[in-house]
Chain A
C-alpha cells in the first residue's frame, strides 16, 4: 500500500509558487515605461560623468580628482535612480493587483498570502538587481575608459619628459639607463592610477547600494500593504528614505539633548527606522579608508536583517487585510 500523496493544495509554503509570482512581477515591472526612463537617465548621467572630471584644478593630483568625480557621479546616479526605481516599481505592485482585480484570482488559487507577498518582493528585487547590474556595468566601463586614458597619457608624458632631459652628448649607456629609470617610474605611476581607480572598491560600493535599494523596496512594500493609494505609498516611502538617513543625527540628538520629549522622539526614530546612512560608502572610498569585504558583509547582514524585519511586518499586516 503506497503512502498517501499530499495534494498540492495543502502545501503551506512553496518556493516554486513564489518564484512564478516573482518572475511574473518582473515581467510586469519591466513593461512599465518609467523603468526605461529611469535607466536611460541613469546611464546618461553615468556616461556624462567622464565630462565632469574636466572640472579639476591643479596638476599634481589630477588623476585622483578626475577619478573621484567619475566615481561620485556614477555611484550617486545609481543611488538616486535606483531609489526612484525601487520606490515607484514596488509602490504600484499591490495597488495595481487590487485595481485590476487580479489579486482575487491569484488568492482564490492555493496561493498563500505570504507567498504572494514574497513573490512580489522578489520580483521587485530582481528588477533592482538587473538595474544595478546594468548601471554598474556602464559605470565600471566609464571608469575603465578614464583609467586607460589617464594611464596612457601619464606613461607617454613620463617617457617624453625623460627623453627631453637626456643631453644630446649623453653616451648610449647613459641614455639607456635614464630611459629604463623613466620606464620604471612610469610603470609606478600607472600602477598608482590603477590603484586609485579602485575597481574592487567600486564593486563593494555597488553591493552596498544594492542592499540599500532592496531595503527601500521592502519598506515600500510594507507601506503598500496597508496603503489605499499608490501616491500615498510613494510619498511615505520617500519620507522614510530621508528619515532613514536621519538616524545618525537622531542618535547624536538623543545623546546630547536633555529635553524629555526630544529624547523620546529621537529614541523612537532610532529604535524603529533602519540607518540608511550605513549603506553610503562613497565618502569612505575617496578618503582612502579601507573597505574590506568583512565590512561589506556586515553592511549586507544589516540590510538582510532589516529586510527580514520589514517583510515580517508586511506579512503581519497583509494577512489580516480585507481584500
Chain B
C-alpha cells in the first residue's frame, strides 16, 4: 500500500515537472489564450458566467451576450446594451469586430438617441448626454486599441469617431497617422491620404503650428509615391495632393530650391483645397 502511494506521488511529481516546458511552449504559441481573469471581469459577469468562462465556453458566452446587446439595441435600452458590450469585449478582447461595432453603437446610435430624447426637454442636458455617449464610444475604442495595439483598423475607426463625432480633428489626425504606420494591406493608399487630409485640416482649423508637419507629410508622400511610379499620369487624387502641396509651399514660403513645384516651373492649375 505504501509502495503504491509512493509510486503515485512519484508519478505526480514527475508529471508536474515534465508539464512545465510543455505548457510554456503551448502558451508561447497562443497569446490569445493568455487573457487574465481580472477582478473586474469576475465582478461584471457573475459567478455563473465565470464558470462558463473558466469552462472554455468564452466565445459562446460572448456571442450570446452579443445577441442580448442586439435585442437591447432594438429596444433602445442603451445602458443595458453598453453593459453587454463591456462584457463581450472583456470576454473576447482580441475580436476586432466587437470593439468596432460596440463603440460605433455607443458613439453614433446611443448618442443620436440622447440628442433627440423626447423624455428630456432641456437642450443642454440632451447635448451633455450626447457627449457622454460619444465619450463612452471613444473610451471603448481606446481600450480596444490597448488590447490590440497592432490593429490599424481600430486606429482608423478611432480617427473617424474623433473626426465625425467628437470634433477632435487633431486627435483624428494622430490616430490616422498611427494607422498608417501599422497598416500592411490594401487600405494603405487610402489611409495615407486620409491622414494627410486630417493633418492639414487640424493645422488649418485648430493648430497652425502643425502646418509645417502637414507640408512635410504631403511632401514625403509625394516623393515616395512618385519615386515608385515616375511615369504614371497624375490621377485626380494626385492632382488634389499636388494642389495642396503648392498651396502649402506658398503659405509657408518654402524656398524655391526646396519646393516640389518651384515657382519658376509652370505647374498644374491650382485647385482650392477641400
Chain A residues touching B, range = 35 or more
Q: Which of B18, B33, B59 is most buried by chain A, counting CB atoms within 10 A of its CB?
A: B59
Kindly provide the distance from the CB of A227 to the nearest chain B CB, expressed in whole angstroms. 16
B8, A283: Cβ atoms closer than 8 Å: no
Bound-state CA distance A58–B66 (Å) is: 13
Dominant secondary structure at the A interface: helix
CB within 8 Å: A-B pair count: 138
- Does chain A have a CB within 8 A of B253? no
CB within 8 Å for A55 and B15 given contacts A68-B97, A75-B59, A286-B95: no
Q: Which of B7, B27, B57 is most buried by chain A, counting CB atoms within 10 A of its CB?
A: B57
Residues of the A chain whose Cβ atoms lie less than 8 Å from the Cβ of B7 = 316
Q: Which of A55, A58, A306, A313 is most buried by chain B, counting CB atoms within 10 A of its CB?
A: A55
Q: Which of A55, A279, A283, A299 is most buried by chain B, counting CB atoms within 10 A of its CB?
A: A283
A278, B32: Cβ atoms closer than 8 Å: no
Residues of the A chain whose Cβ atoms lie less than 8 Å from the Cβ of B31 = 289
B59, A298: Cβ atoms closer than 8 Å: no
A280, B63: Cβ atoms closer than 8 Å: no
Digitize A294-323: 1 where CB-to-B-CB distance is under 8 Å, 0 elsewhere.
010011011001100100110011011000
- Does chain A have a CB within 8 A of B233? no
Bound-state CA distance A264–B244 (Å) is: 66
Kindly provide the distance from the CB of A114 to the nearest chain B CB, expressed in whole angstroms. 14
Residues of the B chain whose Cβ atoms lie less than 8 Å from the Cβ of A289 = 30-32
CB within 8 Å for A58 and B12 given contacts A276-B56, A283-B94, A286-B92: no
Residues of the A chain whose Cβ atoms lie less than 8 Å from the Cβ of B105 = 57
B12, A79: Cβ atoms closer than 8 Å: no
A284, B101: Cβ atoms closer than 8 Å: no
Contact pick for B95, options A57, A287, A320, CB 8 Å: A287
Q: Which chain B residues in 36-75 approach chain A with CB under 8 Å?
A: 36-37, 51, 54-60, 62-63, 66-67, 70, 73
B56, A298: Cβ atoms closer than 8 Å: no
Chain B's closest residue to A243 (CB) is: B54
- Does chain A have a CB within 8 A of B19? yes
A313, B12: Cβ atoms closer than 8 Å: yes
- Does chain B have a CB within 8 A of A282? yes
Contact pick for A271, options B16, B32, B63, CB 8 Å: B16
Digitize B85-128: 1 where CB-to-A-CB distance is under 8 Å, 0 elsewhere.
00000001011110001001100000000000000000000000
Residues of the B chain whose Cβ atoms lie less than 8 Å from the Cβ of A235 = none
CB within 8 Å for A79 and B57 given contacts A278-B23, A305-B19, A305-B22: yes
Digitize A10-26: 1 where CB-to-B-CB distance is under 8 Å, 0 elsewhere.
00000000000000000
B97, A280: Cβ atoms closer than 8 Å: no
CB within 8 Å for A72 and B60 given contacts A283-B32, A316-B4: yes
Kindly provide the distance from the CB of B110 to the nearest chain A CB, expressed in whole angstroms. 13
Residues of the B chain whose Cβ atoms lie less than 8 Å from the Cβ of A305 = 15, 18-19, 22
- Does chain A have a CB within 8 A of B223? no
A55, B67: Cβ atoms closer than 8 Å: yes
A65, B11: Cβ atoms closer than 8 Å: no
Bound-state CA distance A209–B55 (Å) is: 12
CB within 8 Å for A248 and B63 given contacts A271-B12, A277-B56, A305-B18: no
Can you report 28 A-B residue pairs in the complex whose CB atoms are below 8 A from each other? A55-B66, A58-B101, A73-B63, A76-B60, A242-B51, A251-B23, A252-B36, A271-B13, A275-B19, A275-B26, A279-B56, A282-B59, A282-B60, A283-B33, A283-B92, A283-B94, A284-B33, A286-B94, A289-B31, A295-B29, A295-B30, A298-B29, A302-B22, A305-B19, A306-B19, A309-B12, A313-B8, A316-B7
- Chain A contacts to B: CB under 8 angstroms: 52, 55-58, 61, 64-65, 68-69, 72-73, 75-77, 79-80, 83, 212, 241-242, 245-246, 248-249, 251-252, 270-272, 274-284, 286-287, 289, 295, 298-299, 301-302, 305-306, 309, 312-313, 316-317, 319-320
A276-B56, A286-B59 given; name 16 further pairs at CB < 8 Å: A72-B60, A72-B63, A73-B60, A79-B57, A241-B55, A270-B16, A271-B16, A280-B58, A282-B58, A282-B59, A283-B94, A289-B30, A309-B11, A313-B8, A313-B11, A316-B4
